[in-house]
Amino acid sequence: MSDKKTALVISAHAADFVWRCGGAIALHQKRGFEVTVACLSYGERGESARLWKEGKTLDEVKSIRRKEAENAAKALNVHDLQFFDLGDYPLELDRDAKLKLVDLLRAVQPQFMLSHSQYDPYNTDHMYTTEIAMEVRMIAQAWGHNPGEKVLGAPQLYLFEPHQTEQMGWKPDTFLDITDVWEQKRAAIECMEGQHHLWDYYTNVAQNRGNHFRRNSGGMAGGRPAQYAEGFQSVYPRCVDEL
């Protein structure tokens, strides 16, 4: 039985994995995990306003977005970055695309998965992606799907932080200290040239979550001195032997 440690990020658009879980990616890579990132689209229509204002064509926008994501993935030391190129605004997956994602889950056999909040009225691509993540997780667990293949276990699905948490009903129950890899995440953020306006925003988010980590790890009674953190909401119950 393989003792390889793996994780899978399912990202609606090419930049989402950077802002929302870049620290988790870099940290787990540093700890010996092989983290695969699946970008379902480049975010070419809905998240590339600056490029359209510059008069770029659709192919040019997609090419630029792909290169930015590749550079960011390199900064985070991503094990494998895969582009599904399914289009955005709206993002839609047919049966073949879903089964391709199922194949990826079975190939990776992730210990945990990361994706978007379950509700996002500002960007339905995001909540659709998490709906898909839950669906393909279910299919990959089914013994009757492609009998003979290794079925998926029960990886936790962590929902990373949306842009306006109070509007999305996202409630973090897990904080991850990413201080040791913050410089990698910031470098990855700066690879996303098309969305300059988010660089400092997500730096501030990480600092605020660092504050929450300190408070929840002991606070004034000796909390860990995290400077930067990421928050996540778990979907499935955790199975433990002690609390």
pLDDT of residue 240: 86
97-143 per-position pLDDT tens digit: 999 999 999 999 999 999 999 999 999 999 999 999 999 999 999 99
Domain residue spans of the chain: 6-234
| Contact assessment for residue 116 and residue 12, using Cβ atoms and an 8 Å cutoff | yes
pLDDT of residue 217: 94
Amino acid at 112: F
Return the closest-CA partner of residue 81 out of 40, 142, 20: 40
90 prior amide bond cis, ω within 30: yes
| Contact assessment for residue 172 and residue 206, using Cβ atoms and an 8 Å cutoff | no
22-36 per-position pLDDT tens digit: 999 999 999 999 999
Residue 157 to residues 55, 58, 87, 166, 228, Cα–Cα distance (Å): 39, 33, 24, 21, 22
Percent of the chain residues past pLDDT 70, beyond the cut: 99
Contacts of 237 (CB under 8 A, 6+ apart): none
pLDDT of residue 1: 44
- State how far Cα 204 lies from the chain centre: 18
Q: Cβ–Cβ contacts within 10 Å for residue 152, how many?
A: 21
pLDDT along the chain (243 residues), means of 10: 86 97 98 98 95 96 97 98 98 98 98 98 97 98 98 98 95 97 98 90 97 91 91 95 92
Amino acid at 51: L
12-21 per-position pLDDT tens digit: 999 999 999 9
Structural domain 6-234, CATH architecture:
3-Layer(aba) Sandwich (3.40)
Return the closest-CA partner of residue 105 out of 39, 156, 159, 36: 36
Residue 19 to residues 218, 222, 223, Cα–Cα distance (Å): 27, 29, 25
Please give the radius of gyration of the chain, using alpha carbons only, rounded to the nearest integer: 18
Contacts of 243 (CB under 8 A, 6+ apart): none
pLDDT of residue 2: 60
